[in-house]
Structure formats: C-alpha cells, structure tokens
Homo-oligomer: A and B are copies of this chain.
Amino acid sequence: MSGRLAVVGLGPGDARWLTQEADAALAAADALYGYGPYLDRVPSRPGQVRYPSDNREESARATAALRHASDGAQVAIVSGGDPGVFAMAAAVCAEIEAGPQAWRTLDVVIVPGVTAMLAVAARVGAPLGHDFCALSLSDNLKPWDLIERRLDAAAGAGFVIALYNPMSRARPWQLDAAFDRLRQRLPASTPVMFGRAVGRSNETVVVTTIDRADPATADMATLIIVGSAETRTVARPGRAPLVYTPRAAQGVSA
C-alpha cells in the first residue's frame, strides 16, 4: 500500500469544530504527529501510534512525518485551527521542496479547518464582516519593521485586523507596540476583541476599544481582532454586546 500524508486541521477548541473530513482523515491514520496538546485532543484509536513533539519543532516534525509516509504508512499531522494559517501546511510544503525527489510524488492532502479568527468572530458577532487581514505578530520569522509596515497598511486602508501569535514569554513588548501603532491610525473607539482558548472549557472573550486595549489581557492562547472605523458595537440587555462590521461601506446603501 502506498503511503499518504494528511495535514489535518482540528479547528480551535474541542471537537465541536472538527469537520467530517478531518474526522475521517484521523480515523484512517496509522501514525499521528503533532504538538502534544493538539494530539491530546484526538481520541485514541487501536493500532495508531502517536509522535508528540514540541511547538517549535515544525520542520523536524514535517520531515519525520514525510519520511514515515514515504515508507508506505498512512500518516496524519494534526494542527490546531486550520493547517494553512500560521501552522503546519507551509512547513510540510517547505520540507517537500527541500527534500528528496521521492517526496514530490507522495500523496499529500491538506484538510482545512476552522481557523481561530473565525471562531473568535463568531463569539462576538461578525467583526470580520467586510475586508480583513490576518497578521502574525511573531517577529521570530520576520523583522519587526515589516510587521509595523503591514499594521500601517492594513489599518490605513480600513481592513479589520486579526492578530495571531500576539504574545509569548519571549515576545513581551510587541503587542503593546502594535496597539500604539494602530492607535495612530484608528479612532479611539474602534472595537478590539480578545478571544482566549475559544471552544475550550476555560474560554474567555473580552470586548474593549483600541484606546483601552491592555496587552496584559493576551497570552499565547489568545487571538485578537481589531475592528475598522466602520465596526459597530450593539449593546444588549442581559447579554454580551454584539460587534459587527457592516458589509456596506459608510455612505453606500445595502
């Protein structure tokens, strides 16, 4: 039997956001690779072997999984959220490009998933309702001045902005700097949403404004959405406010 590598998005949180395709891909695997806490979210199945690894070992994990699939196994790499958004799919593609020619003939399938910004947006309403962008705040893989340039471009052109990887112990000041940057281009009342561990039992969601946004609200498990000048907050008695960005730009009737 020839080998196969599936790169599987689990969605954020628990199994509620797992797709049918992802469930089937996990069930068909002989071997599962992934960051330990993501693997822990996959139910055990008899005969499957698990290879947990650390969060930062993406290249090594991709290489090991490709080698294993080349030997004829049905291999799955699991990824939180969607594997194509700041996750494992690009690492697998890079190893295929750099690796032995045989890897290019391997059956590789990417199984998409619900990415974190969609889940956080759903929790508060529809803040991604018009044009938006997704930006990783990690300057491990790109220079900080490029991040600043992208923040300026996105806020200046009126995109809603989803911030991935806003904070870690090794990157303590970047989120504060990003908020300062955004405050120069956005109205003080622009809604900002922090979604932490969304879909898990310890989920928290905080809705505030850019002038009050506190970087200490965020950690590694947080996804932040910064609205545009058009994003609206609707107060609701006895319920959390709804936050949404109208599809129609101001002055255009829907």
A residues bordering B, Cβ < 8 Å? 9, 11, 15-21, 24, 58-59, 82-86, 89-94, 96-97, 104-105, 108-115, 118-119, 121-123, 125-136, 141-143, 146, 149-150, 152-154, 156-159, 232, 234-239, 242, 244-249, 252, 254
Contact = CB atoms under 8 A, between A and B. Distances in A.
Contacts of A121: 84, 89, 110, 112
A239 B19 contact: no
A131 B128 contact: no
A210 B241 CA distance: 42
A90 B246 contact: yes
- Which of A15, A84, A142 is most buried by chain B, counting CB atoms within 10 A of its CB? A84
B141 A105 contact: no
Contacts of A21: 16-17
A122 B242 contact: no
A133 B112 contact: no
Contacts of A58: 254
A241 B252 CA distance: 41
Contact of A246 (B11, B94, B114): B94
23 contacts: A17-B21, A18-B19, A19-B19, A19-B114, A82-B114, A89-B122, A90-B244, A93-B126, A93-B232, A94-B244, A104-B237, A105-B239, A110-B121, A128-B134, A130-B136, A136-B247, A143-B249, A143-B252, A146-B249, A150-B157, A152-B157, A153-B153, A153-B159
Contact of A105 (B133, B238, B254): B238
Contacts of A143: 249, 252
Given A19-B11, A21-B17, A118-B85, A93 B141 contact: no
Contact of A159 (B19, B122, B126, B150): B150
Nearest to A235: B104
